[in-house]
Amino acid sequence: MATLQQALTRIDAICPNAWDDAAKIQWLNECEHMIQMRILDAAPEQCVTYDADTERGTPLLVPAPFDRLYVYYVIAMCDYAAHETAHYADSMALFNAALDEYAKWHQRTNGAAVPSPGQSHQIAINSAMRHRHANKAVLDGITAARAAAWDAKVSPAALGPAVNTALQAAKDSGAFRGDKGDPGEKGEPGAPGKTPVRGTDYWTAADKQEIVNSVIAALPDGTEVSY
């Protein structure tokens, strides 16, 4: 089972980023809340929450090898915050697959029953000790229905039109247009063209007039006929 510090270290090793530990711990909290409310059936006020004062050796809730889902989720949030839409979609796909894998394992191992009173009690104690930061009300308001609505908003089907619109806007703005490249190499000379021949391929205006005059001169003028 990974600890809080191990998760942060793995995230930075896999995806170097500019976000401080406070931001990444906040995203880990979001991930833990989803796990506790969707899979462990905990109420919001029972959820384990971490902050800057939490002992970094504190173990996270999901055991190995499923604890990689923490890394996928925080990396996805880093991508989202950096407007890396394609990377965000890939990271969220990995997270959702890992979360689903853990949920199925948990159900096989523990059955469909809700957590034991001991688990809920321990979660409540941890929450009371750690859930003291300024956004407590916001996190407490994350319900299963809201989480499902958020999931629907970031689904590939929902993201598709928005991504296409953003890409088209970027194309129209010239964001994808690079600098003009260097001229290419000179091509091979083409085959020699045909030189037109006067009198065969073309006639000049003077030639045409000369032909007309010759025809007119050859016509009879009426003096050569007697009646």
Q: In the block, which residue shows the tokens 């990271």?
A: 91
Supply angle C-alpha 6, 9, 14, rounded to 5: 125
38, 103 Cβ separation under 8 angstroms = yes
Q: Tell me if residue 3 falls in helix, strand or coil.
A: strand
User: How many CA atoms does the CB half-sphere of 79 hold within 13 Å?
Assistant: 19
What single string gives the DSSP state of each residue in 99-156?
HHHHHHHHHHHHTTSPPPHHHHHHHHHHHHHH--STTHHHHHT--HHHHHHHHHHTSH
Task: Encode 85-113: b = buried (16+ Cβ within 10 Å), e = exposed.
Answer: eebbbebbebbbebbeebeeebeeeeeee
Closest by Cα among 20, 103, 29, 38 to 70 = 29
Please tell me the distance from the alpha carbon of residue 163 to that of residue 139, in angstroms, as a whole number.
28
Token pair belonging to 194: 């045909």
What would the pLDDT profile of 101-110 be if each residue is shown by its tens digit?
999 999 998 8
Q: Tell me if residue 189 falls in helix, strand or coil.
A: coil
pLDDT string in tens for the chain (227-residue length): 689 999 999 999 999 988 899 999 999 999 999 999 989 888 888 888 999 889 999 999 999 999 999 999 999 999 999 898 889 999 999 999 999 999 999 999 887 544 444 444 455 545 554 445 555 555 555 555 666 666 666 555 555 666 677 777 777 777 667 777 788 888 888 888 788 887 777 778 887 888 878 877 777 766 665 54
Residue 166, H or E segment: helix 156-173
48, 34 Cβ separation under 8 angstroms = no
Global confidence as pTM: 0.49
